[in-house]
Amino acid sequence: MQAGPGLTGFGPVRAAAFPRLAGQGDPGHVALTFDDGPDPATTPGFLDQLASSGIRATFFMLGRMIARAPALAAEVVAAGHELAVHGFEHRYLPLRGPVATWSDLTRAAELVADTAGAWPRFFRPPYGVLSGPSLLTARQLGLTPVLWGAWGREWTPGSTGGSVLRHLLRGLDGGVTVLLHDSDSVTPAIAAPALAGLPLLLDECERRGLRVGPLCDHGMPVPYVERT
């Protein structure tokens, strides 16, 4: 029972049976999301690229990374981007019990809320795999799970900006949520190809007439809520 929701980690299952969970939204829009930061070594490069392009995004942050770089997390907010929860530690949730899951997500959500000044709405599990305890905890915390429909697979050996774009193109369409990584905190050397692929992605979306932005512009609920 605990690991059952892990089926949603498989892209085809997720897109076909759970389009909202997959981040399917406004057909004229692409939601741009980043995982694993904030990372002082890499995140500033993404902020610079997004600023130069006039694009906002949603950053699914790790609590432990916020704790290490609170000023950088605050900079992301000040630049107009959304913050969301990626957990405190980047651990596979189906292997964690209810108490550990509750502690992890609560700590992360509180750090995001302290940084953003409001309680976050969105949550993305590490590796995109949910569990029974994580779904229960998310519901209790008022968090809505959001995964993705296209990703850059930056961890593939020899990844470049071009390879990131090719992987993204397999799922890129209006209404999709895109996943890239702005940090090397979990997997080494993935932020550089993601950053190299970002302008290529933005150019492709412009060519197709697709708007790019955060989840709040994607037909999703508002990114922050009053905690009950």
Residue 228 has a pLDDT of 52
Residue 16 has a pLDDT of 44
Residue 5 has a pLDDT of 37
Residue 18 has a pLDDT of 63
Residue extents of the structural domains in the chain? 17-220
Residue 95 has a pLDDT of 94
Question: Tokens 């993404």 identify what position?
Answer: 46
CA–CA gap between residue 76 and residue 136 (Å, rounded): 29
Interacting residues of 18 by C-beta distance below 8 A, sequence separation 6+: 8
Residue 221 has a pLDDT of 75
pTM for the whole structure: 0.92
Task: Tell me which DSSP letter residue 127 carries.
Answer: G
Residue 224 has a pLDDT of 74
Cβ atoms of 197 and 165 within 8 Å: the answer is yes
Interacting residues of 189 by C-beta distance below 8 A, sequence separation 6+: none
Residue 20 has a pLDDT of 79
CA–CA gap between residue 139 and residue 132 (Å, rounded): 11
Q: Which residues pair with 142 in a beta bridge?
A: none
Question: Tokens 């999709």 identify what position?
Answer: 176
Class at the top of the CATH hierarchy for domain 17-220:
alpha beta
For the chain, 228 residues long, give each residue's pLDDT as a single digit of tens: 333 334 444 455 444 446 779 999 999 999 999 999 999 999 999 999 999 999 999 999 999 999 999 999 999 999 999 999 999 999 999 999 999 999 999 999 999 999 999 999 999 999 999 999 999 999 999 999 999 999 999 999 999 999 999 999 999 999 999 999 999 999 999 999 999 999 999 999 999 999 999 999 998 877 777 665
Residue 9 has a pLDDT of 46
CA–CA gap between residue 158 and residue 156 (Å, rounded): 6
The H-assigned helical ranges of the chain are 11-17, 43-53, 63-68, 70-78, 98-116, 132-141, 161-169, 191-208
